[in-house]
Amino acid sequence: MPHRRTKGLTELPDWKQQHNRSHKQVRARVEHTFARMKGWKILRDCRLKGDGVRHAMLGVARLHNLALTG
Q: What pLDDT, in 10s, does the model give residues 42-55?
A: 666 666 566 777 77
pLDDT at position 44: 67
**From CA 17, how far away is CA 34, in angstroms rounded?**
26
Average pLDDT (28-41) is 78
Position 2 pLDDT exceeds 80: no
User: Looking at residue 41, what is its pLDDT?
Assistant: 67
